[in-house]
Structure 1
Amino acid sequence: MSGEHALFTAALGLTAPWQVRDLTFDAEVGRIDFQVGFAPGSRFACPSCGAADQPVHDTRQRTWQHLHFFEHRAYIHADVPRVRCEHCGRTSQVAVPWARPGSGFSQLLEAMVVALAQQMPVRAVARHVGLGDDAVWRTLHHYVDTARAAEDYSDVTAIGVDETAARRGHHYITLFHDLETGRLLFACPGRDQQTVGHFVADLRAHGGAPEQVTAACTDMSRAYIAGLGRHLPQAAITFDAFHVVQLANTAVDEVRRQEVKREPALKHTRWAWLQDPRQQKLGRITQLHHLSRRRLETARAWRLKEALRDFYRSQSGRKEAESLLTAWYRWARRSRLAPFKRLALTVRAHWDGILNAFDSRLTNGRVEGLNAHIQAAKARARGYRTTRNLITMAYLVGAKLSQLPAAPHTPTSGARAA
């Protein structure tokens, strides 16, 4: 083997009996082709039964696209051996060490695709590595599915449940998270109670025990409440503070929209009433200060909403929290504000789940954070063509999968391990 061939054999991460036998470079088309072969007289293990030291029966020509060499596209060509096993009698093609079976791309190229897709839209990844969008998605589906199959959920005891929009037209996926580790456990289309059943089946498939799930944090969706009661009856439900305050925000906005018809000063003030005052800029705080001093129904609604937010900020135990919630409930019922009178009844109907927050201290904050990452990825990609693509991306950015291929800049090529 020449020095040049030895250099590229090392660059491709090949080990005996594989080596680069020849290479051609076409500067005009920007392409380099490596002809890879095995040493004469080499013997291989049977792919079917594993019997070692089987002779080569024949070979088949195969080609794989590889990572670019500098700005040039690179391809690996090899006569792949088939062995006829003396033990099982089968004739089988040997797996090459630089690519997974059935793939037309090297493992290093696929590892690059996976690494880039966690940060870039798939279309941009496809352009960067010189593949089509569909090829990139097939690669992502394979590695995400394979990595998920190896995940262990045996220690899951507390889950968060939420939905996120898949695409326009009321299409959603439901997300189940491990609230202890902050990882996405499962995602599936829909937002009905059957999604909880699908999650429980997946939990069992990954070594988890549904009876060990003793806490669940969710919004006040009837479907999720029913699904948790049916499939995880031992899980104490905590209603997420974010969603409870969100209901109060909705009530405030309903009051404002009714009152703005007779109070022009309320025009263009929607976000002043809805945002957390601690996160508002000085100009909006000043506007809110002046408006809140007027005898406006919206100002009274805002004070009710902020009192509910303060209720969650308190570091009370459950007993003290129940006293605070009782006082808020009575205030809301006497408020003469129809949206808040209805909200008070909703709070009463979900009383225990709201107070459970002061025992479990569970929150879907991490869930909401992951939802934001998923929606940001979807926005960068300008949407995904299928729900499966969205779910795969959700796992890729939020499941903390430990078995994804290492990025190509680390010396962990499958070729070197073979």
Structure 2
Amino acid sequence: MQCPEHGCLTVSVPWAEQNSRYTLLFEAFVISWLRAASISAVSKQLRLSWTAIDNIMERAVRRGLANAPDRDTTRLAVDETAFRKGHDYVTIVSNAQGQVLAVEDGRSSDSLGRFYDSLEKPRKQSIISISMDMSPAYQKATFAHIDKAHRKIAFDHFHVAQMLTRTLDATRKADMARADHSMRQEIHRSRYTWLRHRKSLEGQQIQQIRALSDALKDTGLVWYLKEKARDIWQGYRVKGARAAWQEWIHMARLTEVRALTSTANQIETKLFGILNAMRFRASNGLAEAINGQVRALKVRSRGFRSKERFKRAILFHYGGLPMAPNPHG
């Protein structure tokens, strides 16, 4: 604007944000497209550069974070995902509604600690459960920042089942190495049969397990205790669960199977979090689902060169933020 008294001035206008080349109405239109299509598709269709689109996304996320009402932080889930495979990671914190609350650099205790530092004291005190994998880093951060963390950290069923599945497969491989050469092919073919839940086994698979039990004695013991652990998780909530797990740990050690003994020691160390997960029925299921969607987003976007853009895209698509500008307000 040219002013006779003050010269050329830049003034705010109600239909556009500061430093934006586009009207609020057009930005709202672009945001609606980005929710359903890739940046590449939006760029081609609307003839916008990737930088222009990224700037619109940046303003949208910033607007969403500023305008978002207090989102639920009573039941949290923490997970990690790779920015570049094997090189760099980010920590994703979400809530029970499946909204991403924060994306922090790295997967260290400082990564999760930065999220906790962003919470006001009353919100920290209102936390009921924090579901996570068995990462020592995330536990360290939670113990350092959250009161009574030993009653809130939860290790969900998926991670315990994953640990037992790996133990079973390692034991099967050890048994196969000791078995007669004539049986090794059949033992190898039985891999997925041993990993299945007993109620899902079909007649032929049951016969296969029975036929191999003599040659795979340790595998049979580990399989039995894997199923026993499943029964404990499904059959107990609070009352009796601790005693049931302690009995399971004792039985696992009596087998003297090295891999199973090691797993029993880990479960004993993490028992507080397993019991919390059972008590709160806490699960990382939504967090794992978000992780899967983020991997799909990377594929759809053909990767991200900038970690900041990657983090911004996660908040844009999965933060549940009110990002659309109001052209009339």
Q: Name the TM-score, length of structure 1 as normaliser.
A: 0.68
1:254 to 146, 170, 176: 170
Alignment partner of 1:388: what SS? helix
Mapped contact 2:198–2:227 kept (Cα < 8 A) = no
User: Kindly tell me: are residues 121 and 233 of structure 1, through their superposed partners in 2, closer, same or farther at Cα, counting changes over 3 Å?
Assistant: same
Equivalent residue runs for 1:109-124 within 5 Å = 109-124=26-41
Alignment partner of 1:93: what SS? coil
Structure 1 equivalent of residue 323 of structure 2: 404
1:212 to 111, 126, 129: 126
CA RMSD in angstroms comes to 2.7
Alignment partner of 1:209: what SS? helix
Instruction: Report the alpha carbon displacement of residue 345 of structure 1 after superposing the two structures with TM.
Output: 0.3
The one-character-per-residue Cα deviations of 1:261-307 (angstroms, maximum 9, x if unpaired) are 442213254444445567x7xxx855642332121233432332232
Structure 2 equivalent of residue 240 of structure 1: 156
The one-character-per-residue Cα deviations of 1:56-89 (angstroms, maximum 9, x if unpaired) are x62xxxxxxxxxxxxxxxxxxxxxxx696xxxx7
Aligned mates of 1:223, 1:383 — CA distance in 2: 27
Instruction: Report the alpha carbon displacement of residue 111 of structure 1 after superposing the two structures with TM.
Output: 2.3
Aligned mates of 1:220, 1:116 — CA distance in 2: 39
Aligned mates of 1:90, 1:233 — CA distance in 2: 59
Aligned mates of 1:93, 1:149 — CA distance in 2: 25
1:195 to 111, 115, 127: 111
User: Kindly tell me: are residues 380 and 307 of structure 1, through their superposed partners in 2, closer, same or farther at Cα, counting changes over 3 Å?
Assistant: farther
The alignment-based identity, stated in percent, is 27
Structure ranking higher on relative contact order (CA contacts 8 Å, 6+ apart):
2
Which residue identity is paired with 1:367? A
Does residue 300 (structure 1) correspond to residue 224 (structure 2)? The answer is: no
Mapped contact 2:60–2:316 kept (Cα < 8 A) = no
Which residue identity is paired with 1:397? H
Q: Write 1 or 2 for the structure with the bigger share of strand.
A: 1
1:369 to 289, 293, 296: 289
Instruction: Report the alpha carbon displacement of residue 168 of structure 1 after superposing the two structures with TM.
Output: 1.4
Structure 2 equivalent of residue 93 of structure 1: 10
The one-character-per-residue Cα deviations of 1:236-256 (angstroms, maximum 9, x if unpaired) are 211122111111112122223
Equivalent residue runs for 1:48-67 within 5 Å = 58=2
User: Kindly tell me: are residues 168 and 323 of structure 1, through their superposed partners in 2, closer, same or farther at Cα, counting changes over 3 Å?
Assistant: same
- Out of 298-307 and 353-362, give the one that drifted further: 298-307
Instruction: Report the alpha carbon displacement of residue 90 of structure 1 after superposing the two structures with TM.
Output: 9.2
Instruction: Report the alpha carbon displacement of residue 230 of structure 1 after superposing the two structures with TM.
Output: 0.3
Aligned mates of 2:207, 2:168 — CA distance in 1: 17
Mapped contact 1:176–1:184 kept (Cα < 8 A) = yes
Displacement over 6 Å in runs of 4+ = none
Does residue 229 (structure 1) correspond to residue 146 (structure 2)? The answer is: no
Aligned mates of 2:194, 2:300 — CA distance in 1: 30
Aligned mates of 2:124, 2:78 — CA distance in 1: 15
User: Kindly tell me: are residues 94 and 399 of structure 1, through their superposed partners in 2, closer, same or farther at Cα, counting changes over 3 Å?
Assistant: same
User: Unpaired runs of 5+ in structure 1?
Assistant: 1-56, 59-81, 407-412
Larger radius of gyration: 1
Aligned mates of 2:59, 2:141 — CA distance in 1: 30
Q: Name the TM-score, length of structure 2 as normaliser.
A: 0.85
User: Unpaired runs of 5+ in structure 2?
Assistant: none
Structure 2 equivalent of residue 342 of structure 1: 262
Does residue 142 (structure 1) correspond to residue 56 (structure 2)? The answer is: no
User: Kindly tell me: are residues 397 and 90 of structure 1, through their superposed partners in 2, closer, same or farther at Cα, counting changes over 3 Å?
Assistant: same
Instruction: Report the alpha carbon displacement of residue 130 of structure 1 after superposing the two structures with TM.
Output: 1.5
Q: How many residues align?
A: 318
Instruction: Report the alpha carbon displacement of residue 355 of structure 1 after superposing the two structures with TM.
Output: 1.0
Aligned mates of 1:224, 1:199 — CA distance in 2: 11
Mapped contact 1:217–1:364 kept (Cα < 8 A) = yes
Instruction: Report the alpha carbon displacement of residue 346 of structure 1 after superposing the two structures with TM.
Output: 0.4
